[in-house]
Amino acid sequence: MKKILLTAFVLASMTALTKAQQGRVGINTTTPAATLDVVATTTDNTRPDALLVPRLTRAQLAAKDAAYTATQNGALTFVNTLDGTAAGKTANVIATGFYYYDAPNNVWVAVGGGGAATPQRYEGTRGSVSILTTTATYTATATDFFIITKAGGAMTIELPNPTANTGRLVYVANNNTGTGAVVVQSVGGAPTLLVGTLAQNRAKAFVSDGTAWVAISFN
């Protein structure tokens, strides 16, 4: 008789466990409304109510590149420190915050599509912008936004160090009276990431990606 009761108890327990695994899980509730339902404890202000996901530094997340495959598509993590480099699957990890794993593209993507909470730079576009006209080779300053050349021949426009101007936007327009081209390069002669030569009556916009000036528009 004892054996029968024990067997019945074990079977009942296994059945209940199986149903629980196939059903819903509730925290602070006996009637979960979803697969996982976490209900806040509003009567105790000393307890923080939140859901904590894994927190890693960028270097720690990058070290786990091989662990994230198609099975982990949609995985969520929080990057709390920007150590290491933004490369491989962490190429888009350029600011602290929440990231989800996009398996089809093998990359971590910022939740909300953003990076930093605030822009690295603001360009003053309300009312007017800085417009400079030059007839000779010129090195852009911190306040230059739109540079127009009016030389009689070929000349060079030097943009400041890209590593110190991440996110900065500069326009250059070749309005030379002669037919010479305008060469746009980083200070010291370092080339832009894309071709920066402007024919007469042409303009380009350049933005710093933190390592080089990139031509992002053509006219």
Residue 164 CA to chain centroid, in angstroms?
18
- The proportion of the chain whose per-residue pLDDT surpasses 70, expressed as a percent, equals 77
Is the pLDDT at 65 greater than 90? The verdict is yes
Confidence of residue 21 (pLDDT cuts 50, 70, 90): very low
Residues 151-161: pLDDT tens digits? 888 889 998 88
Question: What is the per-residue pLDDT for 14?
Answer: 47
The residue count of the chain comes to 219
Contact indicator for 88, 101 with CB cutoff of 8 Å: no
Residues 86-140: pLDDT tens digits? 888 998 888 888 999 999 888 898 886 444 444 445 454 455 677 889 999 999 8
Q: Indicate the average pLDDT of the chain.
A: 80
Going from N- to C-terminal start, the domains of the chain cover 55-113, 131-218
